[in-house]
């Protein structure tokens, strides 16, 4: 998995505001539709903490886990823990954060293998982070880890880029543009046999008479809906709903993004 070490400082500038608003709407909707038994929440692959802080501001006791220390540093800054909060720690799963302005703790961990000191009522994993898993074995270890931290009756909400998206939108597709002082070129490819998408994201950052150019590579695996359901079941999680992210209707062949809601057996 890519650790977003250089991209982290610019990550939020590339988030589509409409998509982010929709994501929060979907999560809030399913927390009402399938209410978790309590108010303890884990945001898995939390990135810069946007979703975690959304829940923390609603009074949830929130933990965010991410593989990227650079992304966690941004999350801690957004939580009001200060730019140096992460430098004091180099934290690993289970270690306490400094006193935050909101009830959110951001810790370093791998979603394929993690544990918490206390169970949670809700786990989320957003923005196609699940697609970064390389195969069904990693998918299974992740789902088992989720099941291991959920209380009985707990809820797991996540989304993926569908196989249709990776097959059609990622197949030899290049996007270029500029955001402020940052110009970018994103080249997508898709290996049909391996069912694996690859994104080479090149950034050129200018300013103060200097420029920095770097490329980060990201992989996304195509997971079929029926296989996701089977792996969930094998981990002790029941699929409650699988829908199109954008309209919450049943999935169709051309659905671009899928949202899954699962529950831990009581």
Q: What is the CATH number of the domain that holds 208?
A: 2.20.25.110
Whether residue 196 is found in the same domain as residue 231: no
Give the mean pLDDT of the chain. Answer: 90
Does pLDDT of 89 surpass 50? no
**What does the pLDDT average to over 172-194?**
93
Does pLDDT of 261 surpass 90? yes
Whether residue 151 is found in the same domain as residue 20: yes
Return the percentage of the chain with pLDDT > 90, whole number: 79
Whether residue 86 is found in the same domain as residue 190: no
Of 47-56, 65-74, 205-214, where does mean pLDDT reach its minimum? 205-214
Provide the whole-model pTM.
0.90
Q: Domain count for the chain, please give it.
A: 2
Can you give the residue range of the structural domain that contains 114? Answer: 8-161+223-264
Which of 104, 99, 72 lies closest to 87, judged by CA?
72
Question: What pLDDT does 34 receive?
Answer: 98
Question: What pLDDT does 209 receive?
Answer: 67
Whether residue 170 is found in the same domain as residue 154: no
Of 173-177, 206-210, 258-262, where does mean pLDDT reach its minimum? 206-210
Whether residue 115 is found in the same domain as residue 228: yes
pLDDT band at 265 (very low <50, low <70, confident <90, very high): confident
Q: Give tens-digit pLDDT for 95-144.
A: 444 444 577 999 999 999 999 999 999 999 999 999 999 999 999 999 99
Whether residue 131 is found in the same domain as residue 252: yes
């Amino acid at each position: 998995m890519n650790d977003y070490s250089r991209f982290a400082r610019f990550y939020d500038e590339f988030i589509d505001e409409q998509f982010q608003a929709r994501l929060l709407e979907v999560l809030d909707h399913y927390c009402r539709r399938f209410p978790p038994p309590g108010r303890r929440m884990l945001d898995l692959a939390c990135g810069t903490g946007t979703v975690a802080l959304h829940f923390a501001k609603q009074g949830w006791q929130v933990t965010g886990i991410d593989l990227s220390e650079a992304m966690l540093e941004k999350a801690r800054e957004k939580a009001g823990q200060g730019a140096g909060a992460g430098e004091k720690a180099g934290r690993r799963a289970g270690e306490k954060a400094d006193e935050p302005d909101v009830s959110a703790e951001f810790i370093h961990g791998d979603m394929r293998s993690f544990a918490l000191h206390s169970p949670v009522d809700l786990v989320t994993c957003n923005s196609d982070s699940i697609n970064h898993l390389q195969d069904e074995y990693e998918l299974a270890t992740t789902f088992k880890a989720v099941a291991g931290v959920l209380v009985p009756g707990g809820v797991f909400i996540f989304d993926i880029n569908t196989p249709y998206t990776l097959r059609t939108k990622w197949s030899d597709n290049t996007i270029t543009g500029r955001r402020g002082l940052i110009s970018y070129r994103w080249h997508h490819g898709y290996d049909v046999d391996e069912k694996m998408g690859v994104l080479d994201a090149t950034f050129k950052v200018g300013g103060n008479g200097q420029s920095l150019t770097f490329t980060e590579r990201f992989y996304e695996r195509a997971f079929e809906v029926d296989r996701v359901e089977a792996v969930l079941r094998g981990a002790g999680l029941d699929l409650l709903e699988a829908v199109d992210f954008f309209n919450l209707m049943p999935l169709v062949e051309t659905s671009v993004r899928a949202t899954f809601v699962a529950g831990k057996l009581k």
